[in-house]
Each structure stands twice: as C-alpha cells, then as structure tokens.
Amino acid sequence: MKPADIVIIGSGIACTSTLIEVFSRLIEKPADHKISITIIEKNHEFWLGIPYGSRSSVNALTITSIYDFFTDELERNYFLDWFTQNQIELLGWYQQNGGATAKQWMQRNAEAIKTGDWKNVYLPRYICGKYQRQKFETALRIVEEKGLVELTLINAEVIDIKPENNSYVVNYELPDKTYFSLSAAKVVIATGSAPVRNIDLPRDNDAITVINDLYEPGAEENIQKLTDALSETKNQTDRNVLVIGSNASSIEFLYLLAGQPQVIRLINKLVVISKSGLLPYHIINDPLSEHLTNNLDQLKIQGNYTVEALVDAAKKDISIAVKDGVIVSYIDKIIGFTFELLQPLDENAKKAFIGIYGMQLSNLFRRSGADYKTGSGLLNELGKLVLLKGSFDKIDGSGELHYTATDSDQKLIYPARFKMVVNCTGSDDLSRSPSKLIYNLVHNGIAEVNLSGKGLLVNKCFEAAPNLYVIGPLLGGNKNERIHFWHLENASRIMYLAPYLAECLVP
C-alpha cells in the first residue's frame, strides 16, 4: 500500500493548529496530488486532547487568563468575537452542566465578562476546545470540498515508529489489543505532555484506592472513584487523601473537589506532599509596586558573568518578587532582563539556559488565578488541608506514607494512614517515560532526549530525525534558530509554532 503522506500521532490542539496551517498552505498552493493525512489518537475523542475535552472536567479552567491564552492579538479577537456571539448558549450550557462550581464561577466572573476585562477571566477550558474544534472543522470542510486532502482517523495507541526504505513504519495497538502498522512518508509526534511518572504506588485494595493519572480515564470519573472509596470507609478519621505533587493538576484537583460539598464533607484530611510544601502562588494585580531587580542590576554592573551567576541572580530577584504572591508584570520584567543579560553569553550558555535553568526559574513563580485559589482556600478554612514539605518515598498497601523531610533529610512515616492517593507528580525524564512510544523512540536510538530531559531534540524544522517531526510540549528545552522555549505546555506557544511546522510539512 502507498505510504500516507503525513501521519500525525495525537489529535489535541498541537495537531489541530498544525493542520489548520497545513490546510491554509494547501488552499493557497495546492499540491500535485491529493494529500493523504492519517491521524492516530489513542482516546475515543478526537480534536480536543486532554485539557479541552472530556478527560478534563467541564469546570476545569484555563491556567492563564483568556487574554494570555490567546497571546496573538488577531487570534484573541477572533476568539472573543466568537465567544461574544455564542456567549448565551455557551454559558447557559455551562450553568446547566457545571453544578455548584459553575454557579460560583458565574458569580465571580459576571462583571469581568460584562465589561470585557479579559485579563482577569479564566474561562472553562472546554470553551477553548470548542472554539478550536470549530475552527479546525471549518478548515477541513474547505480542503475536503476542494479535493485537496484525504483525512483518515484511527483510534489506537502508537507504540513504535521505525524507519524503513525512506519512510516510517508506524506500529499501533487498537483498543481491542490487536496490533497493526502503516507506512508514512512523514510522521508528526503530537502526543502532548509526557505521561505522569511511574512512582511506587500499591494496587487498589480494600485499604487504599489509587488514582495514578487524574485525567485517565477522566477527572470526573476519578472524583467519583474518590467519593466511592471515602463513602465506603466507616470512620471519618480514616478518610484521608494524599495528593503527591503540588503542580497545576494538583491545584485543579483541589478546585474541582471544593465545588462538591458532599465530597468535601467526606474528607478528613487532604495532605499535599511536595518538596517545596507550597501550592502555586496567587496572582496579585499591583501595577504600582516598584519592580526592583537589585541582584541582576549588580551583575550587570559587575560584568563578565557566567550563565550560572546569571541564573543565581535571577533566582534571588524572583524570590524577593514573589514574597507576597506573583505580580505578573514584575516577573515579566525579571525574565526579560535575564534574557537581555543572557545575550552576550555564548551559544552553549544559551542552550543550557533554555534546556536546564529556565525551568528552574519558572518553578519559582508557579502561579494560579483567583478562581483556583478558592479550592485550596476552602479546604484550608475547613482545617482539612495539610501542606507537607517533603519528597514522597513510598506508600504501602495499608496506606502508610514514607517520605523524606525537605529541611532535615530525615526519613519519616506520616502519623495517619491514607485511604486514597492521587499521583499529581508530572512527567518523568523521557528516557524513563511510561509512554511506550517515547520509550521506544529514545531507546531504539530514533530520537534523542534534549538537555531538559523532558523534550526531544529537534532541528529548526522540528525534526527529531529526517521526516520525523515533533510539535507540542515535547519540544520544550530545545534551542535553535526557530524553537527556543524551556516549556511548551502552553497553547499559545504551540499555536505560534504551528505555521512554521506546516511550512516544513508542505513546503
């Protein structure tokens, strides 16, 4: 059989943004044949990915305000026009389906939406997904009507890709566990963030119930699983929940729980264990405060610095800046200044900055909007939230937590047992990834992990190997003439890169 022209693995926003751009190029300059494109998606739902579809809750919000979700002004205006035209229907549906969380969200945000104060509105994410899918489907209709593209969809998990005779053999596993393969001239890996790391967790048993991935099979199903496990636990004092990690999914989990008073009532204590013992900071709107950067100023005056000294100074300034919460413009100033001071350094220093140090800086100002803060705020007010500063070692089958205290390095056992444990640790180094595809790519020497450990090394044409392309979070940590982000868990950056990838796919 003739190889497909293009196979895309994963059908989230990285895939749809790329296809929209590919279609637009084909409309402008049709190819000499109908381009065959196959999309292989492991979930039954296409075009929405994890954040914007049914694996997330309808109540899950954008991580940034909607203003920053669409950083491109033209795209933002398209979105806002679409949203305004469909607002009554969209928000009506949301109020009907989002329960108490939606009602509270509407109360908090009604005024900002009315006045168009988009800098402070964190929209339910599924609305962004709906917009993107409509945009994609419109573009698809046009290329199909013009006979420019033939699209094939396969619901399967790709487990391996191998080069063969100037093309690639893509091996995939169907939901019924049967295996097939197809051949493709070009393959795009658009599989989103690498899956959560495998940690030492027991299997579900009578004593403990485990959620290894909040979005698998879906957040709502997992909250139901938690409710069932706690309801079946007789003593209120035994109904303890352990959340491992304090990243974005952890704060989202607390927010979703807080909207369900019947679940909150069941919980005795909810313990979040993380090295920092902190949840993301809240965002402060304080445009008037003085944005001092004493450590970076000092470094500039002194001159002749290394990238390590630069990072050290930036870290010091950030830790002062986030003392009372995150002022976005203040952080932007520090990062902007750090970049300015990076410019005179050599290429290796720049690569190390993007590959290693940038992420370390970002971890110092993890932030979340006011809506999400209400979740941890409520649990805190009720005396149910415990932030434990330490690293998780293991939890045994009886629910006993073993951990290492961050400050003392002491090995400790938590004084209460847990009925429920939720893994919110984020992804592992790609060489240890539980994704069969990523593991095989790396261990079969087809793709190389970049300096960050979290991304695949690519050239300026997004290629990890000839005609094997990457788009989305797995690009994080690359530094070349085109791609230079330390993290790409960010829809707006993915949309920004999509036209460039399209240019490489259909020159």
Ligand X SMILES: Cc1cc2nc3c(=O)[nH]c(=O)nc-3n(C[C@H](O)[C@H](O)[C@H](O)COP(=O)(O)OP(=O)(O)OC[C@H]3O[C@@H](n4cnc5c(N)ncnc54)[C@H](O)[C@@H]3O)c2cc1C
Nearer of residues 34 and 133 to ligand X, judged by Cβ: 133
Among 7, 79, 109, 157, binds ligand X (CB under 6 A): 157
State which residue has the least CB distance to ligand X. 49
Say whether residue 242 binds ligand X (CB under 6 A): no
Residues 171-190, interacting with ligand X (CB under 6 A): 190
Q: Which of 314, 257, 242, 254 is nearest to 279 (CA)?
A: 254
Cα–Cα dist 201/190, whole Å: 28
Size, binding site for ligand X by CB under 6 A: 36
How many Å is the maximal CA-CA distance in the chain? 70
Distance CA(421)–CA(244), nearest Å, equals 8
Cβ-based nearer residue to ligand X, 270 or 491: 491
Binding mask 191-230 for ligand X (x = CB under 6 A): xxx---------------------x---------------
Beta carbon nearer to ligand X, 14 or 505: 14
Q: Kindly identify the residues of this chain, within the stretch 257-286, that bind ligand X according to CB under 6 A.
A: none
By CB under 6 A, tell whether 160 contacts ligand X: no
Give the residue with the Cβ less far from ligand X, 68 or 396: 68
Out of 160, 371, 463, 489, the residue judged to bind ligand X by CB under 6 A: 489
The one among 3, 6, 11, 469 contacting ligand X by CB under 6 A = 11
Rounded to 5, what percent of the chain is helix, strand, coil?
Answer: 45, 20, 35
SS3 463: strand
Helix (H) or strand (E) holding 159: strand 157-164
CB 451 within 8 Å of CB 352: yes
Choose, by CB under 6 A, the member of 4, 7, 14, 341 that binds ligand X.
14
Return the SS3 of 58.
coil
Cα of first residue to Cα of last residue in the chain, in angstroms, is 24
Query: Which one of 55-63, 180-188, 395-403, 457-465 is the stretch in contact with ligand X (CB under 6 A)?
Result: 55-63
Task: Name the packing angle between helices 491-505 and 13-28 (round to 10°).
Answer: 40
**In the beta sheet, which residues pair with residue 38?**
7, 152
Bridge partners, residue 167, by sequence: 164
Q: Does residue 41 bind ligand X (CB under 6 A)? A: yes
Instruction: For 226, list phi and psi in degrees, rounded to 5.
Output: -65, -45
By CB under 6 A, tell whether 455 contacts ligand X: no
Residues of this chain that interact with ligand X (CB under 6 A) are: 9-15, 40-43, 49-51, 56, 62-64, 69, 125, 157-158, 190-193, 215, 249, 437, 472-473, 489-492, 494
